[in-house]
Amino acid sequence: MTNHSPTARRIAKTILNGFDAYFADYQNITLGAKARFETASWQAVHQANKERIDLYKTKVMQVLKLVHAVTSKDTTDLAIWREARATFAQLIANHSNYEIAETFFNSVFCNQYKHAHIHDSNIFVKPSRPPDEKPLRDYSIYISYSGRDGLEYMIEDILNDYGFSVPWEDLQRDVDNICRALREGPLTGLENEKQLRVDMLESVFYRNKAAYLVGRMMFGGQVIPLLLPCLNNGRGGVFVDTVLYSNDSASIIFSFTRSYFMVDAPIPSRFVRFLSTIMPLKERSELYNSIGFHKHGKTEFYRHILAHMKVSNDKFIIAPGIKGMVMSVFTLPSYPVVFKVIKDKFDRPKTVTEEIVREKYKFVSRSDRVGRMADTQEYTNFIFYRNRFSEELLAELQEVAPSKLVMDDKWIIIKHLYVERRMEPLNLYLQHASDEETREAMEEYGNAIKQLAAANIFPGDMLLKNFGVTRHGRVVFYDYDELCPLTDCHFRKIPEARTAEQELSDQPWYTVDEADVFPEEFRLFFSGNPVARKAFEDQHSDLYDYRYWQRLQERIRAGHIESAFPYRRKWRFKRRSHRKPKG
């Protein structure tokens, strides 16, 4: 081991000890998910999610304070941090979670230097060693099951091996439902079920009001997802709600539009590798995000886009669609994300401030996104090659956000931006959609509004341009500057006009407070698109009624948490009421 200064060693050890303490606290919050599910403590679920997200920043700042305390040397000296980085790399050489420890080191450094001096000699821009490629069968993160005794016995064994403290509502019914669905679906062509092998991750994936059993089926060279969403019936029993087995359905369960799972993953990299086998199109960054390690997901994304820049030559351009009043949005055509920069001055009639916009995005990161809001990663001092920016984009950024730019002949540094998955804006999608596609999109649009509202989120500005369509056809909200808790709104009916002058006036003849919302006005969002308007009104005309919103507010204030299913309701198994025989 190379000898480094005592100061560098103390700093490196302090950061590693801090990381290990953070990870232990993170795991303890996560391990409580099982009890919260079994006792149907849904309010506690949301509180634990927020607590776990906030934990990272708290621990990083505690460790930075300790770093200053363990040495009398000048901790602003970059040379000390370069040595500390080298020492840290040696300390984590055999650490099972070295890659997440690297991200923690990066976070401490970035808070020390306000995200300046981003270079691989100072932090881990690149990983300290290649990823572990040992066969996963060497590790005990999953259990393998054989179909040699028949599908029913295998499924029953799988369900019994998950040790919920509450009983199955009707185990035999669930086994029958699963077997029937599999035989009618992915196992249709399997002549001999004894050839089937199933690997199930030992840890349960908890999110919102559901517990997911996650695995894969293998036969004939195929690898097929097997996901079993389990719900608590609220009466001391658990049941399997459906079975999901397509790559697309698995991808939607692990979508960037959903809250992070609570899953006991002592070595997250191994879980990510397993999940990659059933969702090969998902990037590692997305999978780390989905299991709760979103800070390392940022690191993985940054590394991935740097690698992509080396093998591509297209230029960043202004993102297609109607330009926003608050954000300048750009994209790289060959890469599936958008970059959003807050403008220095907002276009009229926007009255929000930059601080408010940042708070809105923070609110989203800590909210239950119910599959209807895009996950957003926030970056400071993001570095780009200047020659990869189109002249049109560069001119726009210099015009609307000059305070966010640092430029020279080679580099452009954007001081603050958000990164989101790229989607086709709903208004553009409708321009080329068939009548059937329009109807489906309007069903999705209304469902998105309703599901967000049930999660106590009101989009504020519900214009079609603020919603996007994913590759799975789901409609997702992505413009957060007008968003607020639903319970902060005052839903009203437009008062009747008392005179002809009032009726013909283009100005309201009644008082309107800042929190007032008039659902009757939602019809205006469809001006110019009568097909979309009719499709929406056929399916969601209840959204025009102020009483719909008031009833929802009452439920939320009473502590009710709605169920949000990341799969079609028609896929849910039918449940007969479970009654014990008399006698």
Extract the tokens encoding 237: 């029993």
Expressed in percent and rounded to 5, the helix, strand and coil fractions of the chain are: 45, 15, 40
Sequence ranges of the binding site: 319-325, 340
Which residues pair with residue 228 across a beta bridge? 213
Whole-angstrom CA distances from 349 to 184, 353, 361 are: 55, 12, 20
Q: How many helices (H) and strands (E) does the chain have?
A: 18, 19
Spatial separation of the C-alpha atoms in residues 453 and 485, rounded to whole Å: 8
Spatial separation of the C-alpha atoms in residues 35 and 476, rounded to whole Å: 31
**Contact status, residue 198 vs residue 144, Cβ threshold 8 Å:** yes
Spatial separation of the C-alpha atoms in residues 251 and 59, rounded to whole Å: 31
Amino acid at 263: V
> Residue with structure tokens 């599901």?
451
Tell me the DSSP string of 25-59: HHHHHHHTHHHHHHTT-HHHHHHHHHHHHHHHHHH
Spatial separation of the C-alpha atoms in residues 241 and 347, rounded to whole Å: 47
How many residues in total does the chain contain?
583
CB count, 10 Å around CB of 526?
Answer: 18
Whole-angstrom CA distances from 376 to 112, 297, 359, 519 are: 24, 11, 13, 28
> Residue with structure tokens 């992070």?
260
Spatial separation of the C-alpha atoms in residues 233 and 168, rounded to whole Å: 10
**Contact status, residue 10 vs residue 18, Cβ threshold 8 Å:** no
Note the Cα 260 to chain centre separation in Å. 6
- List, in sequence order, the alpha helices (H) in 494-560: 500-504, 530-540, 546-557
**Contact status, residue 416 vs residue 406, Cβ threshold 8 Å:** no
Sequence ranges of the binding site for ATP: 319-325, 340
Q: Who's near 467: CB < 8 A, 6+ residues apart? A: 425, 426, 445, 448, 475, 476, 477, 478
> Residue with structure tokens 């049941």?
239
Half-sphere exposure of 400 (CA within 13 A, CB side): 21
Q: Any catalytic annotation for residue 241?
A: no
Spatial separation of the C-alpha atoms in residues 400 and 104, rounded to whole Å: 34
Which residues pair with residue 210 across a beta bridge? 207, 231
**Contact status, residue 405 vs residue 320, Cβ threshold 8 Å:** no
φ, ψ at 210 (rounded to 5°): -125, 155
Tell me the DSSP string of 389-402: B-HHHHHHHHHH-G
Catalytic residue among 199, 241, 368, 375: 375
The catalytic site residues sit at 375
